[in-house]
Structure 1
């Protein structure tokens, strides 16, 4: 780093002429990256002007300041976009070499055939490249300077906090580091924590593919501990909590992806508890935390009891991401483009439109259609319903796409979701929508189709804001809000994270973030870069809502609806403090996690937690494994089950496998679910009846078409009954005003079923079901009935996975989705395969006699390549 270069760079940045020249260069570069013809108010800079900017960039590159390095890269990228002169391209390549952005440099060299023309240039290029090159799975990969710094830090084997923009390639390095250790060590337990099922699936597959050469390493996303020496778990924090409750083994290496989720309410508290447990079991546990542009690691790690962990961070993205404000020109049917940069706006130009833009409701779809033809496009929608509607609007503006890949995806949706699902018509036109409650294989098939270019427009909710590797050329955003209405604002850092999807390191140097009518937004979060602030959700809630925590600890009622975020956070905070009180260290724990509490709040919470821990009859292991639920409610549930033991009716509500019950499975689980909802949630109605209708079929591994067709028929029958009742009312009273009852909408029924499966069956019932079984096990053991414990079916795990046989579970562990595992288990004449036997069946499986969709066949092939040694891998 040069002090002179840093001082000179600061002078450049403050110079008004430089700012104007930079704004002009950026605007021209942005115009050249637009997929349309833009009328620019000023011509592009001449070679002399570009030369001056490149001189400034060469100075910035030597400064060492991230701000200056970012500006050097911005100048080089924009110069490459607007000039094809060999001398300009070579100077740009030299600048990218100096700042160590080799992925973009390699892309530029391939596209423009640019090579250093001097011996000195070639020597510099080769030396710096060699310094940044590492071997990954037998191939040489050249890293950016930041990636190299992260890589070197990982090799030291210490815990680490890593922060960088979305496209910086940090998770790739951590996964490679984890896999190298796995291949080298004789015994270990590694855990990779991913906050969403979508990210979990992606990471799980990457690790399995990387470790395909060693089948002795267990790689699983199922929280069951096996007696093998080498295990890697890819889990959500909820699944990790379950794993920790069933084993006392130390965890050698923990990766926390999207670590900003420490701030995410009750889920953040679970994440904190899991990390604390690992560290308490073994202070040598290697913890690596990843976050996309974050601050506050030091304070968060203090709260976790892990001070002093080094941080490797950068704010420089390796690709150019243009923030382009798009608005309609008053009185003219044309779009105006302005580039949003550090100093305000730079006018890019205008473009006449082929379609009308006057309606606010259709403007986002219209703009996406006008500007999204130049590459893959992600479009933000606030809710799943809005995502489907917006995707439908975009599809209306397109002709059918004659694409074999689209036809394959359509057939998959018809065969494995439902033939009436409205997504089908959109896929035919290269459009899809994406949200968290969709089935995982459908979501992954859509993502794969988007990466392959089969899906051109993907409308998504915040599910894609975190972690998933799904870059695009264009990102469209027209609001800073989330959910219904415009009152609840997205965290600006989350919006920046989504904008970071624009551009693909190594495959492009530029991406466009289109901000529709940005000046009319209620807030302008894209003006300046926002980092995530990492903080402990537990610390924050206990400190700022001490009264709510005290209310729960004192068995009181909050003035909020049960189940809302405030209620969940208060319940979880209180539960954790009761857990610590039972362990005898609530005082020290409060001092660590809530040092800002005043004396009186500290004393009251401490006393209430100790009092609650003494009053509760729940055993400590039940509290420890289920503190996110209302512990007083669990205490009442345990009393009810003890009462049933005493009156001889407990056996009827001991969970059994659906396959053992036949038709009685529905009534069996209806009763169990109603008990759970009544005692834990406070619901008195027969909600368990509706849920059991879906949940039992889900546990049995029934395919989506079976479940969804039943729900659609039930809805049609319900509507027919209501109409018949209206006719009876009219016959009884000729003056009766008949209510209009709409036809059943299959897509709405499908969405409701998806929501029920993901939010109720696979989340709420899984949590409550685990607690229910834990309490049953305690009651049996406490009453001399330990022999009955094996009779308890683990319905919580069956609900989570969507299969109830060992064969289905084994196929899931090998990496198949539930849809594929459910289809395959029906073809295997053994429902009790272990992992080893299931692997052999899968490797030797001949699909030719069976009618399986191309999507499932492709998945089977992909999984087979990850479970066989490389030299004997079976191809499809």
Structure 2
């Protein structure tokens, strides 16, 4: 990796911990675990905001729950506030603390029985325990949903549940997330992102327009679009709308959207959405719809949604290679064994693939580490 005056975000000099995190990625392609980092123009203090980091320093990591003692009064206010969602946006830390307390209460049958709660030296623990009990008693869904989705306020989960309850009971299937490869995918994801934006989090769009932009990105990511294509399409959009843009900024923004939204916020929030939806269908006597709830988290983590592509990645292929190979395979539902059999029987069809992909095929088929 060659680095010259690295920035993080919009023109902010990269901090030391981020620099070493980036440097640690050198040589990560394939099976290598080491590589070189070359810092360029190190004598230019303006570019490097001083000098490049020379050696690693210890970084102090502070747990969010360590602030629990100082935030108890704020948590009471947060729970009782009629503007709970607004307070979440203003101070996200409160959401994490409330989630921790609710999960702790559920797992230990009360905060007072949690052996780890003593280290926070909390006053009036019985009062706090009663307040958390009050929160959990007001929930309309099983408490295990709270434990499965740490970091999200149960009160906001209840808001999304209420949104489900307000939907047309004759068309409950409209709440489902459509298959990412289907024609209905975009409209269903925009609708889901909007429900989440209205009740639980703005990370998937501030409004319906923002939800549309991010839903489109997420769907393309799950369809296996490479980063280069996502970037070029974003540039084409700006050209079509005759908007000013800078290519380096577009590249950074697309990569940030993929990491922050497609691979973090979307899996986190859609997992919660689907967990709530599953129990909502059961409560409405529509358990028949539960089987149509896909494991979107896997699709987003891998960046593919077709079973054949997932099977190829399970065999050890990179996302890029899995997508390229799958374009030659007519069936979308092959398991790992069937994929390997197809490759062995149709190797001649893959001769036009890039050398790096063919190297992966050779390595995996022959069980050789490159």
The answer on 1:541 being equivalent to 2:64 is no
Question: Cα gap change, 1:858/1:552 in structure 2, threshold over 3 Å: closer, same or farther?
Answer: farther
What's 1:857 paired with?
Answer: 358
Q: Tell whether 2:240 aligns with 1:693.
A: no
For the structure 1 residues 377 and 593, does the alpha-carbon distance in structure 2 shift closer, same or farther, using more than 3 Å as the test?
farther
Change (3 A) 1:559 1:770: closer
Residue ranges of structure 2 left out of the alignment (5+ in a row): 43-48
Task: Flag structure 1 segments of 5+ consecutive residues without an equivalent.
Answer: 1-375, 390-432, 437-442, 452-468, 479-485, 487-514, 519-524, 721-741
Kindly state the Cα deviation for residue 807 of structure 1 after the two structures are TM-superposed: 0.8
Quick one: structure 1 residues 555 and 706, their matched pair in 2 at CA, closer, same or farther if it must change by over 3 Å? same
1:576 and 1:627 in contact (8 A); partners too? yes
Once the two structures are superposed, the pairs formed by residues 56-95 of structure 1 within 5 Å of their partners are none
Shift of 1:574: 0.7
Within a 5 Å distance, the mapping from 1:578-593 to structure 2 comes to 578-583=102-107, 584-589=109-114, 591-593=115-117
Shift of 1:771: 0.9
CA-based RMSD: 3.9
Q: CA deviation at 1:561?
A: 7.4
Q: Quick one: structure 1 residues 569 and 839, their matched pair in 2 at CA, closer, same or farther if it must change by over 3 Å?
A: farther
Question: How many Å separate the matches in 2 of 1:855 and 1:388?
Answer: 34
Q: Secondary structure at the match of 1:658?
A: coil
Which residue number corresponds to residue 749 of structure 1? 250
Please report how far the alpha carbon of residue 612 of structure 1 lies from its aligned counterpart in structure 2 after TM superposition: 0.8
Structure 2 vs 1, CA of residues 435 and 618 (structure 1 numbering), >3 Å: closer, same or farther? same
1:619 aligns with 2:120: no
Number of aligned residue pairs: 355
Contact (CA 8 Å) 1:811, 1:821: kept in 2 or not? yes
Show the counterpart of 1:597: 121
Q: Deviations over 1:817-874 (max 9, x none)?
A: 2222111111112111112222334455626654322333333344445xx3xxxx5x
How many Å separate the matches in 2 of 1:476 and 1:603? 59
Residue 799, structure 1, aligned to residue 324, structure 2: no
Contact 1:805–1:832 under 8 Å retained in 2: yes
Q: In the TM superposition, what are the counterparts of 1:604-643 in structure 2 within 5 Å?
A: 604-643=127-166
1:653 aligns with 2:154: no
Given the superposition, is the C-alpha separation of residues 789 and 645 from structure 1 closer, same or farther in structure 2, using an over 3 Å criterion? farther
How much has 1:569 moved relative to structure 2? 2.9
Q: Matched residues in 1 for 2:52 and 2:270: separation? A: 47
Paired with 2:302 and 2:5, the residues of 1 have a C-alpha distance of 29
Decide which structure has the larger Cα Rg and report it: 1
Structure whose residues are more often helix by fraction: 2
Q: In 2, Cα distance between the equivalents of 1:571 and 1:611?
A: 16
Asked if residue 516 in structure 1 is aligned to residue 51 in structure 2, the reply is yes
The alignment partner of 1:701 has SS state of coil
What's the counterpart of residue 92 of structure 2? 568
1:668 aligns with 2:184: no
* In 1: Cα distance, 2:138 partner to 2:41 partner: 52
| Structure 1 contact 476–516 (Cα < 8 Å) conserved | no
- Do 1:636 and 1:679's aligned partners in 2 also have CA atoms closer than 8 Å? yes
| Contact 1:777/1:789 (8 A) holds in 2 | yes
The 1:617–1:822 alpha-carbon spacing in structure 2 relative to 1, beyond 3 Å, is same
TM-score by length of 2: 0.80
Contact 2:111 2:117 in 1 (8 A): no
TM-score for the superposition, normalised by structure 1 = 0.36
Rate the CA distance shift 1:857–1:543 in 2: closer, same or farther, 3 A: farther
Contact 2:26 2:34 in 1 (8 A): no
> Equivalent residue for 2:46?
none
- 1:708–1:539: structure 2 CA closer, same or farther, 3 Å change rule? closer
Are 1:774 and 2:298 matched, yes or no?
Answer: no
